[in-house]
Amino acid sequence: MKITNIKSLELPDIKVIQFARFLDHRGYFTEQFRKSDLIGNPNLRSLKNVEFVQANQSYSKENVVRGMHLQWNPYMGKLVRTLSGNMVDLILDVRKKSLDFGKMIAYDMPSSVENDTEEWIWIPPGFAHGNFFPKPSIIEYLCSGEYSPGCETGISPLSKDIDWSLCDLRLKENFDKIVSNNPLMTDKDKDGLSLKDWKNHKGYSNFVYEELKEKNIC
């Protein structure tokens, strides 16, 4: 896996990992995952002890909005990429005592077979995750915990108490445009918790900022 760049986003614990594709007249080849390259990289501290135990793939139609999902017992970090189309990833800090608690960011991840690089985005435990899709898209994500239906919840991306001040203005405008035009959402996502509700939820105490940092999982 030839990693060409690693960058932190507006929420610094969120990492974008760029890796090379090798293009020629036939198409391209890429090694999109090699565990040793990821856990051995000094800029990916929260991946050091991660073992990916589940892989998911989803297809979303145009104007779909998903999220914001989170899980504990076990915690689930996600390594996500776009296989086709255009995903805009959404990440919300839900860590108790975090200075960025309640802040949402977005990251644009279009896919093109002509690019000589591709990207993963790493969302560690402590963040709620979702996405929206300006066009039909297929995404893949590797998970650091198996799905646990009794230990999951969701915060509605439509919640009025989310702080979007760190978010790229263009991406927020794109989100608002989709939301104002009857987005394709499940009732479960649409009617998810507000941040106020999350603070009173049984899962909230599992996401204390200092404890997650001490365990080196965010």
Residue 203 parent element (H or E): none
What is the C-alpha to C-alpha distance for residues 164 and 11, in angstroms, rounded to an integer?
A: 12
Query: 183-205 burial, b for 16+ CB within 10 Å, e for fewer?
Result: bebeeebeebbebeebeeeebbe
Q: Give the percent of the chain with pLDDT over 70.
A: 100
- Chain centroid, CA 133 distance in Å: 13
What is the C-alpha to C-alpha distance for residues 25 and 216, in angstroms, rounded to an integer?
A: 44
218 pLDDT tier (thresholds 50, 70, 90): confident
Please work out, in degrees rounded to the nearest 5, the angle formed at the alpha carbon of residue 19 by the alpha carbons of 16 and 20.
155
Concerning whether 75 is annotated as a catalytic residue, the answer is no
The whole-model pTM stands at: 0.94
What is the C-alpha to C-alpha distance for residues 88 and 22, in angstroms, rounded to an integer?
A: 25
For domain 3-207, the CATH class is mainly beta
Average pLDDT of the residues in 26-48: 90
Q: Is 78 exposed, middle or buried (0-12, 13-18, 19+ CB in 10 A)?
A: buried
Q: Tell me the pLDDT of the chain averaged across its residues.
A: 95
Q: Is 113 exposed, middle or buried (0-12, 13-18, 19+ CB in 10 A)?
A: exposed
Task: Using the predicted structure, report yes or no on whether residue 216 has a pLDDT greater than 90.
Answer: no
Concerning whether 201 is annotated as a catalytic residue, the answer is no
Catalytic residue among 28, 141, 147, 201: 141
Catalytic residue among 25, 28, 69, 209: 69
Reported as a single tens digit per residue, the pLDDT across 175-199 is 999 999 989 999 999 999 999 999 9
Task: Using the predicted structure, report yes or no on whether residue 46 has a pLDDT greater than 90.
Answer: no
Reported as a single tens digit per residue, the pLDDT across 127-148 is 999 999 999 999 999 999 999 9
